[in-house]
């Protein structure tokens, strides 16, 4: 439609989902940098370039917003774990892929270890209240059980491995390197963010897990 040759644009409707995503991302950055206690709603709104009233409209309050950030973070990694479809690979390759995925997830999302540190400082009080706990429970424990069973039956793996403990060990190999990269670089006087060193660390993590699974207890 035109008036005297001028084109009148249709009013743009607010993209609610995009705004909510921007608020969530801004909140994640604020909580990771300032912790839960130090984070401010005003700062989150400024980061998201959103009206503070809109933030309250979508998420309620600071506590609810933090819980939404926490849930979104867990859903992201769980989604990636499900997409691995580890059951289609032989046990050794499946384990290799799992270790590499976990390491690379921490590496590509360094905010995730920081957010976990924030929640641990809160004694996991927000995680305990999430209504979607079944959605964030890792599918990898039953998947690991299946991989370990197949590996034991083929003679590739030992038979006495606790899948939960193994999962914690795999996560720890990636978590510690990423969360402590800055301090470790100073201590060892080497830049651990260099690609070659990251590759070495990933390969060592894979080898450590596979060597453990292949070691028979006497």
pLDDT bin (cut points 50, 70, 90) of residue 5 is very low
Q: How confident is the model at residue 148, as a pLDDT? A: 96
**39 token code pair:** 């984070």
Write down the pTM of the prediction: 0.83
Residue 25 has pLDDT above 90, yes or no: yes
- CA-to-CA separations, 198 to 12, 111, 152, 185, 209, in angstroms, rounded: 46, 17, 31, 12, 17
What is the distance of C-alpha 78 from the center of its chain? 8
* Helix, coil or strand: residue 6: strand
Give percent above pLDDT 70 in the chain. 91
Tens-digit pLDDT profile for residues 66-117: 999 999 998 888 888 888 889 999 999 999 999 999 999 999 999 999 999 9
Q: Which residues of 103-141 are buried (b: 16+ CB within 10 A; e: fewer)?
A: bebbbebeebbbbbebbeeeeeebbeeeeeeeebebebe
As a whole number of angstroms, the distance between CA 164 and CA 123 comes to 20
Tens-digit pLDDT profile for residues 117-173: 999 999 999 998 888 776 677 677 888 999 999 999 999 999 999 999 999 999 999
As a whole number of angstroms, the distance between CA 194 and CA 190 comes to 9
Q: How confident is the model at residue 131, as a pLDDT? A: 80
Q: How confident is the model at residue 20, as a pLDDT? A: 92
């Amino acid at each position: 439609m035109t008036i005297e040759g001028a084109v009148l644009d249709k009013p743009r409707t607010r993209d609610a989902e995009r705004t909510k995503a921007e608020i969530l991302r801004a909140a994640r950055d604020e909580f990771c940098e300032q912790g839960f206690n130090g984070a401010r709603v005003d700062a989150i709104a400024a980061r998201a370039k959103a009206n503070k009233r809109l933030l309250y409209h979508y998420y309620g309050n600071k506590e609810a917003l933090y819980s939404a950030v926490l849930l979104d973070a867990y859903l992201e990694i769980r989604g990636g774990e499900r997409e691995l479809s580890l059951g289609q690979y032989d046990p050794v390759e499946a384990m290799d892929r799992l270790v590499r995925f976990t390491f690379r997830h921490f590496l590509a999302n360094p905010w995730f270890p920081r957010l976990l540190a924030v929640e641990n400082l809160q004694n996991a009080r927000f995680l305990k209240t999430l209504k979607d706990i079944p959605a964030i429970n890792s599918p990898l424990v039953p998947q690991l059980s299946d991989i370990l069973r197949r590996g034991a039956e083929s003679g590739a793996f030992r038979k006495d491995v606790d899948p939960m403990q193994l999962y914690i060990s795999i996560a720890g190999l990636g978590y510690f390197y990423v969360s402590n990269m800055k301090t470790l670089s100073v201590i060892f006087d080497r830049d651990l963010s260099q690609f070659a060193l990251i590759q070495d660390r990933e390969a060592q993590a894979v080898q450590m897990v596979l060597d453990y699974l292949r070691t028979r207890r006497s």
